[in-house]
Amino acid sequence: MLALQEIRRKKLQFGLISLIVGLVVYLLVMISALGTGLLSAMSGAVNSFDGDLVVFSADSNDSFLRSELTAEQRDAIVELAGADSTGGVGYMAATVQEDSASEDVALFGFQPASIAVPPVRSGRALQGEGEILIDRSLSRSTDLEVGDQITMRNALIDYELTIVGEVDEGQFLGLPSAYVVLDLWREMRYPGQAEDAPAVSVLLVRRDTSALGARIEAAIPNTSVLSKSDAISAIGGVTEQERVVMAIEFFGFVIGALVIGSFFFVLTMQRGYEIAIFKALGASSWYIFGQLTRQVVAVAMVGLALGVPLALVTDAALPADIPLEITGGAFLTGGVSITIAALLGSLLSARQVVLVNPMSALGQV
Amino acid sequence: MGRDEEDLVAQSLTKVFGAGDTAVEAVRDASLSVRAGEFVAIVGPSGSGKTTLLAMLGGLLTATGGRVIVGGTDISRLNEAQRARFRRERVGFVFQGFNLVPYLTAEQNLLVIPSISGKLDGQMRARAGQLLQELGVKKRARHLPGELSGGERQRVAIGRALMNDPLLVLVDEPTSNLDSERGTEVVRSLAEEVKLRNKIGIMVTHDRRMLTHVDRILEIADGRLHSPESSP
Ligand SMILES: Nc1ncnc2c1ncn2[C@@H]1O[C@H](COP(=O)(O)OP(=O)(O)O)[C@@H](O)[C@H]1O
Ligand SMILES: [Mg+2]
């Protein structure tokens, strides 16, 4: 209560520092949102897979682009894990054309009636090979919509497809995802090799026993089983990208801590007289530091109250193709780290507080 | 509790500031004892060591030599944290410059005392209002020190000194900011408070006109304390 009185009487000083803290919060939220946005642009479609494990071929270096599982491998895995808990997925890059416009997509083929089937948001599910589902990110960035006819050209063969539904699965490697049935994918990916072609790129497995991954690897030659999150980290560039974002977040955190810390350090030096009065009256250094901490928390809260709406406004104002995803996590990261930064920063003043001599209140030092 | 439990006893108090050639012996070999319910004045010229002595009696300054026992506690043996606790629980200071916290209102300055003891509650708020009322500054409760006259500030400072119902009331130069008539008035009310609540009251001053309501007078000169040759 007394700590907040000081804030009331020193509105300008505390207002300015709260504004600066608000900007640091804003920065931290935006960095975190950008990190989430980049990550989901790289791997959102994989993250949306309904499965806990991803089985790659061992020689693919756990890459969706290179992994190929044969029909025998697939059948053996299905036998081990159960048909209800598996789903085959094929991947390839493809180009969707409508009139003169063309758009690159990450094309997934999925095994019908398996856990690989993506849930449809609008329109209907696939019923055959002449149909395609597109991700919301594609319908947002182009004027493609449910009902449109598109052409997909691959290996000089044109496939005429109808968009029958829209999904919300996200992007992969920066491209919006699109979904066809596994047979069509196989035809496009391995034209003219009907019988000998690999069956799927990867197999999704819902984990029901803990050692299933190891059992698959042990029992079936040339397989590599990763958890979904490891499979995401294995996507080229994802780990590097996450490290860069984390480094920027760390610098934002350190700068926040230093800014707040310096402010309270200077403030503590300036109010040596007031602190001396409190001490002369018998206040412990703990008490004074506790008051300081309340002020720090108050400043952090006001900073949050300024920075968070600012981030929301920015998000609304920015065009959709900037990979910015403000989540509750972004606010949590911004809020928690600024509060921790503020408290760490205030430790700079702890020594200052202890050193104040109560006799200086009497002008006797 | 025995009578002496409530007394103040100082034995051979000495305070030396600095060391070597620049050492200043602000207080030398000062001994005194004050009973509860007694209001004692220590009078002496400026620079004679009054504030230094008062600060040692109140546990604000550690003595270079000698000891102080207040209410049975030897405060010369306390560490810094213990002395802080002693001050907030048992001592009421009225400093020479009043030393009110500038960003707190009159009422909040009184509430500093329970706040630093972690006892700020409705009862303490009521007590603060009561004290401001008794001291005639209730109307000024919501004003900042900068908006108060010297006399009002002093009364707020006295209210603050009484907030914790201290055993020991220490007053430094009550009149330096006031005309003597108001000063005498303040001394009288403090003397009454000390009698009524059986406190130990010690006032230091250079102004002999303030000595009308005190029980006993000691003199200090060059850091040496002695009884006056003749009563005032
Ligand atoms: N912190 C200090 N360092 C050095 N000398 C001091 C200090 N405090 C007080 N003194 C000296 O001690 C003497 C007594 O001071 P003080 O107790 O303030 O006297 P009074 O209150 O009677 O005016 C003075 O000579 C003063 O200069
Ligand atoms: Mg003095």
Q: Is residue A212 part of a domain?
A: no
Q: Is residue A309 part of a domain?
A: yes
Q: What percent of chain B has pLDDT over 90?
A: 77
In the predicted model, is pLDDT for residue B44 greater than 90? yes
Q: Does the distance separating the beta carbons of B97 and A9 come in below 8 Å?
A: no
Q: A122: which 2 tokens?
A: 């609008």
In the predicted model, is pLDDT for residue A348 greater than 70? yes
- The H or E element containing residue A37 is helix A11-47
As for the ipTM of the complex, it is: 0.93
* Beta-carbon count within 10 A of B219 CB: 16
* pLDDT given at position A363: 72
Nearest to B60 among A5, A278, A280 (CB): A280
Q: Are residues A290 and A359 in the same domain?
A: yes
* pLDDT given at position A333: 78
| Binding-face residues of A in 178-197 toward B, CB within 8 A | none
Asked if B53 and B27 count as a contact pair (C-beta separation under 8 A), the reply is yes
DSSP for residue B176: T
Per the DSSP assignment, residues forming a β-bridge with B232 are: none
Per the DSSP assignment, residues forming a β-bridge with A149 are: A162
In one-letter notation, the amino acid at residue A345 is G
Q: Is residue A357 part of a domain?
A: yes
Q: Are residues A82 and A13 in the same domain?
A: no
pLDDT digits (tens, 9 = 90+) for A75-128: 999 998 888 899 999 999 999 988 778 899 999 999 998 999 999 999 999 998
* pLDDT given at position A365: 61
Q: Are residues A243 and A356 in the same domain?
A: yes
- CB pairs below 8 Å between A and B: how many? 77
DSSP for residue B166: -
List chain B domain ranges.
8-226
Q: What are phi and psi of B9, to 5 degrees?
A: -130, 125
Segment B157-180 shows an average pLDDT of 87
Q: Measure B75 CA to nearest chain A CA, in Å.
A: 14
Q: Please report which confidence band the pLDDT of residue A281 belongs to, taking 50, 70 and 90 as the band edges.
A: very high
In the predicted model, is pLDDT for residue B2 greater than 50? no
Q: Is residue A321 part of a domain?
A: yes
Closest chain A residue by Cα to residue B85: A282
Judge whether A274 is closer than 8 Å to chain B, CB to CB. Answer: yes
Q: Are residues A39 and A60 in the same domain?
A: no
* pLDDT given at position A352: 84
Q: Are residues A131 and A65 in the same domain?
A: yes
Number of folded domains in chain A? 2
Judge whether A364 is closer than 8 Å to chain B, CB to CB. Answer: yes
Q: Are residues A144 and A187 in the same domain?
A: yes
Q: Is residue A224 part of a domain?
A: no
Q: Are residues A127 and A87 in the same domain?
A: yes
Kindly report the average pLDDT of chain A as a whole number.
89
Q: Are residues A19 and A88 in the same domain?
A: no
Q: Is residue A227 part of a domain?
A: no
Q: Is residue A113 part of a domain?
A: yes
DSSP for residue B211: G
Q: Give the ligand at the shortest distance from the Cα of B206.
A: 1
Burial A55-79 (b: 16+ CB within 10 A, else e): bbbeebebbbeebbbeeebbebbbe
Q: Are residues A57 and A203 in the same domain?
A: yes
In a mutagenesis test of the B interface, which of A1, A14, A277, A360 is the best target, namely the one with the most B β-carbons within 10 Å? A277
Q: Are residues A194 and A289 in the same domain?
A: no
Q: Are residues A91 and A27 in the same domain?
A: no
Taken in order B122, B126, B131, B135, the sign of the CA dihedral is positive
* pLDDT given at position B231: 46
Q: Is residue A174 part of a domain?
A: yes
Does domain B8-226 bear CATH number 3.40.50.300? Answer: yes
Is ligand 1 within 6 A of the CB of residue B109? Answer: no
Q: Are residues A242 and A359 in the same domain?
A: yes
Q: What is the pTM of this model?
A: 0.77
* pLDDT given at position B61: 94
Q: Which domain holds residue A83?
A: 53-207
